[in-house]
Structure formats: structure tokens, C-alpha cells
Amino acid sequence: MSGLQMQFANGTIVTPDALLNGATITIDGDRIVSITGVDTRATDAIDLAGGWLLPGFIDTQVNGGGGVLLNDEPTVAGIAAIGAAHAPYGTTAFMPTLISDTPDVIAATLDAMDAAVLAGVPGVVGAHIEGPWINPSRKGIHDPAKFRLLDDAMIELLIRPRKGRVMVTLAPELTDPASIARLVAGGVIVSAGHTDADYETIVAALAAGMTGITHLFNAMSPLLHRAPGVVGAALDDRSAYCGLIADGLHVHDAALRLALNARPHDRLMLVSDAMPSVGAVDKDFRLQGRLIHVEDGKCFGEDGTLAGSDLDMAGAVRNLVARTQADVPTAAAMAATYPAAFLGLSHERGALAPGLRADWVALTADLRPAGTWIGGRLVAGPLAIQGN
């Protein structure tokens, strides 16, 4: 694939420095070499039809897809199936996410992630272990029978050298700053979620090296004027990265706008929190023995509790633009550039720029997915070629 040139015409290409009206992207292997103007005489340009070419989306919270739940299949095949289900929706990198489970399943998931990276499974860049070190009072759909305190044995497992990034979601009030600092020193990305912590506890956790807030507003202590809670600490802080589930169900439109107005945009990330229903024909599924029903994009248990989402990343971008009036470049950065920075991957992903991976997604003018490239290879699409 050395020196391959790809022409894109009749659309907007979003780069870190400019919005281009068409472009020629030269790639070598799986990397972008240059991005220059489009040759208007070219007859083999890919016609964006008034749409967009954006950096490939990076999803830090993907529980499942294509009928597969990571908890049920913590294997290379399971991870590959989840990635394949999300690729048509513009996801070019993802963190397969384990919902609270036993130490054995956590270990199996991390080993499977290593093996998936070594095997070259497209898009997998690490693993997100969400719980079981979370607060029962903010459990959401997680099974409290799986909950446990963070101990030395688990810390040792989590900080073991890995082939990809390791992210954990925990309740800071159920551990201590020293343990958080130990995880961070071992290369783990720590995020607060499913937590009833007060403002001061979150501040202390951030000082210890925690850098994330998992699905802001959901499953956490709310902002009250005398008790700012997790939400207040997150909105007050200028450094932590906050995930947002922009599906119109998890977070009210006004709360989305509040987050955009209150925090630096480069610390906000769109996440799917996707369940096996994404990319699946049969939407309903089981989560640790419990039936989860999916209807009108909503996943919920028999008691009505939200159980992740039926959201994909292209839908998250589309919803953010429609519900907050954020522009497309901002939404694209929240889906690609800022998650890459959070994961420490800005040197290879998250933007259309020379030296970075040739990962991108084409969206139609109304922000529907039209084609996805991973490492310069079309994995979903294709788009029309002018003259054909």
C-alpha cells in the first residue's frame, strides 16, 4: 500500500488545522503521509456527496455488539466480533468493556485483549474494566453479587504489563488515594463511575492521578448547591476527561449543553456504552442471567433500569449536533481526538494528519455512516466513485 493516493471530492474533510473542500490523502502502509488538495480532473475520486470525512471514532466504553457481550465471551473471537459490529458506524478503535464480574473473568478479559492486539484484531487498543469496585447505591444494571473491594492481588493483576491500554472504572470512596496512585503509576487509566463520592473525595482522587469520569451524570452523586457531588467536581475540574452518552435517554439535552458550556471541550468524550444489540438483528439479550429488552434504542432490565445503550458512535455524533447545536468538527473531536488524548494515543490516532494512522469515517450530509477505513483499508461501505 506504499504511496497509495485516495481522492475525496464534493465534501468536507476535517483536519486539525482546516476544513478542506475535498482532499488527496497519501498513505504508506497504515499511516497518512500527506493530505493535499483534490485534483479536480480526477475521475476516480470518492464522492462524499456533500458529506464529511472525519477521523475514525474511538470508543472507550463498548460492552458488546453484533449479539456478543464481552462478559459472555472474553476471548479474541468475542473482541473481534464486537469490533466488527461497530466498524460500520465509524468506530476504528475501541476499548472492549467488561461489566462487573469475577476476578477470573477480569483476568481472562485482559489476557484476551493482549492476544487480540498481538493477533492484529482491527481497532482493539486496550480493555476497560468497569467495576466490580463500585458502590451498590449507584449500581445501575451491575450485579451487586459481583462487587468487591480493590485489593493488592487485583492491583497487581491490573498493573501487569499489557499490549494495550488498561482502563478501570471504580468508586473512589471505596478505595483510597494511595491505591489510585499505585494503579496510575502502573500505567492504568483510572476513572470514577458508579460512585456516591462527595466532592472532596473526587478532588482527592484526581490529585492522586485519576483522569476520567465514566458516563458523566449517570450512576453518580448529583450536583446540589451545598453538596456538589461527583457531577459538581467533574464540572468544576478543568483536567479530567468526562464520557457522555448522547443517546437522548441517559442525559437530558440541557445537561449535555451544560457540560459543553461548563468544561473545556477537549476534556469531553462521546462514548456509546453499547450493548450486544448494536449491529445485531435480534436486539434483546441476557446480561448475567437477566433479560434485557431493547426497544426504540433503549436497553432496560425487567425493573426498568437502563442497561447500557443501543447507541453507536455515528449516532452519538449525530445526536450531539442535533441536540446541542455543536458543530460537526467539535462532535468529531469529541468522538476521536479527545478520546485518543485520554488514552495516551494522540501520537498515532484521533485526527486526519500526516504520521497518524489512516483511520477515518465518511458520513453523509445528515451524518449517517457511509464508509469506514481502518489502516487505509475500507472495512465498511463502499462509497460511490465519480464516473462509475
8: left (phi over 0), alpha (psi -120 to 50) or beta: beta
Contact 164, 125 (CB under 8 A): yes
The active-site residue, picked from 59, 101, 273, 310, is 273
Only one residue has cell 425487567, namely 302
Tell me the DSSP string of 190-208. Answer: EEE-SB---HHHHHHHHHT
Q: Is 111 considered catalytic here?
A: no
* 24 φ, ψ (degrees, to nearest 5): -110, 120
Going by DSSP bridges, is the β-strand pair 46-47/241-244 parallel, antiparallel, or unpaired? unpaired
In sequence order, what are the beta bridge partners of 98? 129
Contact 34, 247 (CB under 8 A): no
Closest C-alpha to 274, from 78, 86, 81: 86
* 87 φ, ψ (degrees, to nearest 5): -55, -40
Positions marked active-site? 273
